[in-house]
Every structure is written in C-alpha cells, then in structure tokens.
Amino acid sequence: MRVSLWPTIYVIVGVVIAATHNYFVNVNTVQRILSAVLAVLLWPRLVAIDRDARIPQRQLELLRAIPLFAPLPPPTLEHLAHALRRIDVPAGSEVVRVGEPGEDFFIVDSGRAEVLVDGESKRVEPGGYFGEITLLRDVPRTATVRAVTDLALYALARDQFIGAVTGHAASRDAADVVIGERLGALRAGTLPA
C-alpha cells in the first residue's frame, strides 16, 4: 500500500507558518517564502492537472463567437463549454415549438435549422443560436425551430445560461441588445437577421 506524503507536508507547512508568525515582524516575507516553497512542492501536481485537463475547444470557439458570451472571462467560458450537452436532431424534426416553456439555450454546431414565426422562416447556420428570449424574459418560446438537415446542437441549461449572462455586466448588456433586436423584429412582423 502506497502512503501519500501530502497530508504530512500540509501539516509541516502549517506548523512552520504558525511558528514563524511569532518570530518574524514582517509576515509578508514569511508568506512569500512559504508561497514559493508550496509552489515548488505542488508544481508537479499542477503540471499533471493541466496536462490531463480536457478543454472543449469547439465549444469554446462557438461560445466566444456569440455576443452574449464574448465578454465573459475565460474561466466562465470554459465552465460553460464543459456544461454544454450535445443533442442530435434528425432532419424535419422540431427542436422547440412556439408557446412551449423553455429550459435550454441552443447553439448550432453543424447542420441547418429554420426559425418559423407567423409563416415566415429564417435559416440558422452553424454558430447560430436560439432560446435566449425564453430564458432571459421567462416567457414561452417565441418561435418554432425545425431541423432542415440533420442537426448537431449544444444545449445549455437555464440556470447555467442565466447565471453566466446576468452575472456579468457586459454580457447582460449584450443580451439586452440581442433580445431587443430580435423582439423588435418579431413585433414588426419580420424575423431578425
């Protein structure tokens, strides 16, 4: 059986911090020294964590291209990229229907969809997205979206979407602009570009 030395190291570091705190006038110096020691001791583990981490590059690329998410800091974007669920939709199937409640925001990864509102349709290509109005305004779906071709989507759950978009001022402002444009177009009887 292999025994880890890390608990012992943590205890020793704690004891050193406590002991040196009483003898040094300048606590900042002690903290700097201990930070350097900890960095050296933990460096191999940190390198291993970084090496083994899987970063969903395609999902990050899609999120960065969307105005709602572009202002978000990299750690938030990476968290969202990991939270995206892939959904495959066969051609001709409805993804969402007007009037239904919504629980997800969708990003088109591949394939084409069409947004249908009052007899008009608009294509949604890869990189396009839909579902933000329902989630941010807490209203039923404002359009039906159907797969024109086989469709690969990424879905983001309501809570994660709302937390990310409303938790950052620049993202919230971008969302207000996008929603304003899309709702304005719907009220005018046209589909947003």
**pLDDT tens by residue, 146-170:** 999 999 999 999 999 999 988 888 8
Burial class (CB in 10 A: 0-12, 13-18, 19+), 102: buried
If you compute the radius of gyration of the chain from its CA atoms, what whole number of angstroms results?
Answer: 24
Three-state DSSP class for residue 111: coil
Place of tokens 């993804």: 95
**Residue 1: which pLDDT band, with cuts at 50, 70 and 90?**
very low
Task: Name every residue whose Cβ is closer than 8 Å to that of residue 95 and which is 6 or more positions away in sequence.
Answer: 89, 106, 113, 145, 146, 147, 151, 153
Task: Summarize the confidence of residues 180-184 as an average pLDDT.
Answer: 78
- In sequence order, which residues have a C-beta less than 8 Å from that of residue 184 and are 6 or more positions away? 192
Q: Dump pLDDT digits (tens) for 13-28.
A: 666 666 665 555 555 6
- What pTM was estimated for this model as a whole? 0.69
- Asked if 13 contacts 20 with a C-beta cutoff of 8 angstroms, the reply is no
pLDDT tens-digit readout, 28-83: 666 777 677 777 777 777 667 666 667 789 999 999 999 999 999 999 999 999 99
DSSP 69: T
Q: How many CB atoms lie within 10 A of CB 150?
A: 14
Residues shown for the chain: 193
d(CA 133, CA 182): 8
